[in-house]
Structure 1
């Protein structure tokens, strides 16, 4: 996206998101660390709470509410 409001959501440089692998009877599944934390209902917040970060946090909270009210 070219809108400057979304520039923080684009990958930059060599910033890598850590992955975790879970094993179960159904096989292996890889998650990025933020998705894995969200699965445990943990919302990870870094940096100042500005419009973009607030939108991300609200979206995560709404998702969690819809999954398990």
Structure 2
């Protein structure tokens, strides 16, 4: 069984995408027990930005070149 006290990390580099798929990812991030840390590697446009801000409120980060 996975340790649900350890944060999950989601690295994002996305020009966007479909709404249905993006909302599905967002809903899953809200549903899982561990906190989801989101990290923008380079680009988070459109639905990518929605997913980026869907992470734990104090754990959304971006690389300097993002």
TM-score (norm 1): 0.28
- Asked which structure has the greater CA Rg, the reply is 1
Higher RCO (CA-CA < 8 Å; seq separation 6+): 2
Q: TM-score, normalised by structure 2?
A: 0.29
Structure showing the higher strand proportion among its residues: 2
